[in-house]
Amino acid sequence: MHCPFCQHVDTRVIDSRVSDDGVTIRRRRECEACGERFSTLETIELKLPVIIKGDGRREQFDARKLRVSFDRALQKRPVAEEQIEASVRAVVHQLRMTTEREIASLRVGEFVMAELRRLDHVGYVRFASVYRSFEDVADFRDELDRLERELPDEGQLPLLQDRMPAEKKTPEPQLGRSGQRSTGSKDK
């Protein structure tokens, strides 16, 4: 770090202290050239991931939109303002904790549902009924399936599956081993 007094290119750290909240480090520095002392503050940078919408568009995370989702679900419900704010903060915190740079809006929805389930069951059902319909996602999936058929070697398509919600896979018809065994056994 350059000295702010003489612009010398090198300064020496003579003391480091972590702030009480644990997110800031204060460093006392001394210039080797002019001997002046000064302090620097380092703050941990926690970036929020970019949101991937259902149609694949990217969007900067907006806490106000998150708040609107809570407000809609909890309209006329007996939930205190502070509780809603705490839930919004909890979701933002979870987003910060993901180390990913991008996150599917559906996963944000999962965080919201977990909070609503705790806060208010009516609000939870309201949100889940909209969220679980997956209409736009189903459309997106159809489009992906179409693309996969047309471009079987398109390398990035499998990555898109990560954005899909956990799906209940239809089990393959169980006509294999058990079926053979029952037809093959003769009890008479």
- Site for Zn ion, rule CB under 5 A: 3, 5-6, 8, 31, 33-34
CB 5, min distance to Zn ion, A: 4
Alpha carbon distance 36, 39 (integer Å): 10
Alpha carbon distance 71, 127 (integer Å): 10
Neighbouring-strand partners of residue 104: 52
Q: Is the Cβ of residue 23 or residue 33 nearer to Zn ion in the bound state?
A: 33
CB 35, min distance to Zn ion, A: 7
CB 14, min distance to Zn ion, A: 14
Which contacts of 10-14 are long-range, i.e. CB under 8 A and separated by 24 or more positions?
A: 11/38
Joined together, the tokens standing for residue 35 give 């001997």
Q: Is the Cβ of residue 2 or residue 146 nearer to Zn ion in the bound state?
A: 2
Q: Is the Cβ of residue 31 or residue 95 nearer to Zn ion in the bound state?
A: 31
CB 10, min distance to Zn ion, A: 9
Residue with tokens 């003489």: 6
Q: Is the Cβ of residue 8 or residue 67 nearer to Zn ion in the bound state?
A: 8
User: With contact defined as beta carbons under 8 Å apart, do 61 and 36 qualify?
Assistant: no
